Structure 1
Amino acid sequence: MSPQETKDQFRPENHENDTFLLTTVVGSYPKPKWLNRAKELYEDDDADFDEANWQEAKDDAARLITDEHERAGLDVVVDGEMRRTEMVEFFAHRIEGYEFNGPVKVWGHNYFDKPSVVSEVEYDESWLVDEYEFTAAATDRPVKVPITGPYTLANWSFNEAYDDEEELAYDLADLVNEEIEKLVDAGARYIQIDEPALATTPDDHAIVGEALERIVDDIPEEVRIGLHVCYGDYSRIYPEILEFPVDEFDLELANGDYDQLDVFKDPEFTKDLALGVCDVHVADVESVDEIEDNIKKGLEVVPPEQLVVSPDCGVKLLPREVAFGKMKNMVQAARNVEADLDAGNIDIERGTPTPADD
């Protein structure tokens, strides 16, 4: 199936426009304040708040944020990663071979509970199937599953067991493949691989490409695979990333005021572009008009059938009301642009880029 065909399966039956710009989120969302208090109670040995209470709190938060995504109008929803901690820590706790020795200072007064790989990594318990099944049961809309990629899981850990990081990344890719197979068996059809480390170490794009080949091995073609890469010097990985076996690239461009947009215009962008149209680093809600202008920037790179609309990155650090406002305005802007495209009111010049395989 083409990337466009995998996208069309998420088009709502009652979609009001002929054009369809799929709207979704990258993953994380602000946690309700009461969930953080519940976690403190759960971790307090003197509090009467046991595992069952903690599980109920996470379930309630997952329902709440899934509903919030529905109310914003998103076509594909996520539970906001209510059950997850930091994006490497969460998975490292579930992979045999990792251990934790306490937080390390990364910048300023910020600390990161950086794990160590102390033995060969092995798949033990499922990581995300329960999360997916719960969210899918809580909504009638398609659910996307974000999962931290093997390169980031390797790069953001201390390696004390493997000869090099590349070997570790490939073993982790095999584990990610095993988890995705279980997610597919559970009904998941939209998987997003998060590789923020690629933006900071772009010379390793070949390792990421090989890891992705291992991940998608034997995954049914109707399963949509996206790759999210946070802000960085995209010119150092483009057009090489077009060889990656994914349907969609999710890119952080609003944060840089689209100064790297031209990078993707030549050679031709042959995959789907999930364009960041809201800046998650700014605690102001962009207007619908402003987001419409951002969406139109994406149409300078790809035609409407290849465009997906999302925020730049996860929105977990924003005030919750700001995050919701951005999502709601983003969806309205997408619907407005669709209507304008249907009416022939948008004329975007894309030129004639060099074919990607030249």
Structure 2
Amino acid sequence: MPVRLPPLPTMVVGSLPQPDWLIDRDRLGHQFPPRVRAAELWRVPERFLQEAQDDATLAAVRAQEEAGLDVVTDGEIRRESYSNHFATALEGLDLEHPGTVRNRSGVDIPVPRVTGEIRRPAPVQVEDVRFLRAHTDRAVKMTVPGPFTMAQQAQDEHYRDDRALALAYADVVRAEIADLFAAGADIVQIDEPWLQARPEVARRYGAEAVTRAIEGAAGPVHVHLCFGYAAMVSERPEGYSFLAELADTPADAVSIETAQSHLDPVTLHPLRGKGIALGVLDLSTPDVESPATVADRVRRALDHVDVDRLALSSDCGLKYLPRASAAGKMRALAEAAEMVRAEL
């Protein structure tokens, strides 16, 4: 039975800081998020890695519960980056001889090279959501990289058609989403930052790929847009270059950032009637905002959204913050939600 959520349910986008004893955080913070595997980041020998990741995931779950969040994730603790954990588990890729793609910062990075049909030989994150479901009685959310973003993070030498590649990724994401809901997820989020990073391409088939991936899902699916991790991309534009295009997709909610970008809530009008997961934690600084500051960020959006379908979240993932900062920001989020609920 789905967990009943309060008004303005609180959650993080997905990732939380991984412990220093688990991953080389200094090295992680000085390179762009890997798109191919980066096993060298793990500090724990491979034979102990799953057990260590289990322990760190439990710590992430408890941190969210102790902060008072209503929806918890697994913290993406088992992932080297938000996308490569899933993307590199697929077939049809040459990971030993990667290709290159220029990222949003203008840097050429190694990416999977598509040499055959994209297939999902087995569910990728089902055991992750089962583990999460077994260790909390709160609503749980699992995140999956979106099809458009994965297609943009790959060098295609098979389909020779970027739309066809994105739709192939959509098919494997659709199958994964079905398995995640069957395994106990209450919410699934697909991460699509490259809809914002590549708006000209996204307008041709981005909404089509998202729709193909999430249509008919057994539960609510959130589509997360962002301007990139604050640790990697410091400059924020004044608004989203791809947002209104999601209004006609089957997404239950669109997850956006407003804290660091100071996004004008008028920007959300094209999504009126759609759920919004409002990012109200600024991740560009380890300083912990007061609950009053976070509550003010919520209030400024209330006249521009459907409050009954509003969730409160972090701008993006908390992966690159100190653990104490992440815990403090999550507490501020939960306390701010209580303040605003009392005013509704």
Scaled to the shorter chain, the TM-score interval is 0.7 to 0.9
Deviates more, 1:60-69 or 1:281-290: 281-290
Name the counterpart of 1:347: none
Name the counterpart of 2:14: 27
Change (3 A) 1:164 1:307: same
Give the whole-Å Cα distance in 2 for the aligned partners of 1:219 and 1:200: 26
Q: CA deviation at 1:161?
A: 1.1
Name the counterpart of 1:120: 117
Give the whole-Å Cα distance in 1 for the aligned partners of 2:45 and 2:4: 42
Name the counterpart of 2:144: 147
Secondary structure of the structure 2 residue equivalent to 1:115: strand
Q: C-alpha deviations, 1:98-144, integer Å up to 9, x for none?
A: 22235968598988442111111111121110100001111111110
Name the counterpart of 2:246: 241
Change (3 A) 1:123 1:107: closer
Give the whole-Å Cα distance in 1 for the aligned partners of 2:2 and 2:187: 10
Give the whole-Å Cα distance in 2 for the aligned partners of 1:106 and 1:208: 17
Name the counterpart of 2:4: 11
For the pair 1:227 / 2:231, whether they are aligned, the reply is: no
Name the counterpart of 2:258: 253
Q: CA deviation at 1:238?
A: 4.0
2:318 to 302, 315, 326: 315
Q: C-alpha deviations, 1:21-49, integer Å up to 9, x for none?
A: 110110011101111269x9xx68xx994
Give the whole-Å Cα distance in 1 for the aligned partners of 2:150 and 2:284: 24
Q: C-alpha deviations, 1:310-335, integer Å up to 9, x for none?
A: 01000101111111110101100001
Unaligned 5+ segments in structure 2 are 28-38, 228-236
What is the identity, as a one-letter code, of the residue corresponding to 2:256?
A: L
Q: C-alpha deviations, 1:209-233, integer Å up to 9, x for none?
A: 212222234423xx01100011366
Name the counterpart of 2:343: 340
Secondary structure of the structure 2 residue equivalent to 1:82: coil
Answer yes or no: is the 8 Å Cα contact 1:146–1:193 preserved in 2: yes
For the pair 1:274 / 2:277, whether they are aligned, the reply is: yes
Q: C-alpha deviations, 1:137-170, integer Å up to 9, x for none?
A: 1111111011000000001111111121110000
What is the identity, as a one-letter code, of the residue corresponding to 1:128?
A: Q
Answer yes or no: is the 8 Å Cα contact 2:22–2:44 preserved in 1: no
For the pair 1:215 / 2:220, whether they are aligned, the reply is: no
Name the counterpart of 1:133: 130
Give the whole-Å Cα distance in 2 for the aligned partners of 1:34 and 1:326: 22
What is the identity, as a one-letter code, of the residue corresponding to 1:168?
A: L
Q: CA deviation at 1:208?
A: 2.2
Secondary structure of the structure 1 residue equivalent to 2:267: helix
Give the whole-Å Cα distance in 2 for the aligned partners of 1:294 and 1:305: 17
Q: C-alpha deviations, 1:206-261, integer Å up to 9, x for none?
A: 522212222234423xx011000113665543433211111101001111112x32
Q: CA deviation at 1:10?
A: 4.2
Q: CA deviation at 1:280?
A: 1.3
Question: Equivalences for 1:155-174 in 2 at 5 Å?
Answer: 155-174=152-171
Give the whole-Å Cα distance in 2 for the aligned partners of 1:92 and 1:110: 20
Secondary structure of the structure 1 residue equivalent to 2:91: strand
Name the counterpart of 1:36: 23
- Using the aligned pairs only, state the percent identity: 35
Give the whole-Å Cα distance in 2 for the aligned partners of 1:238 and 1:89: 25
Unaligned 5+ segments in structure 1 are 1-7, 342-358
Answer yes or no: is the 8 Å Cα contact 1:30–1:316 preserved in 2: yes
Give the whole-Å Cα distance in 2 for the aligned partners of 1:166 and 1:179: 20
Give the whole-Å Cα distance in 1 for the aligned partners of 2:211 and 2:238: 23
Secondary structure of the structure 1 residue equivalent to 2:168: helix
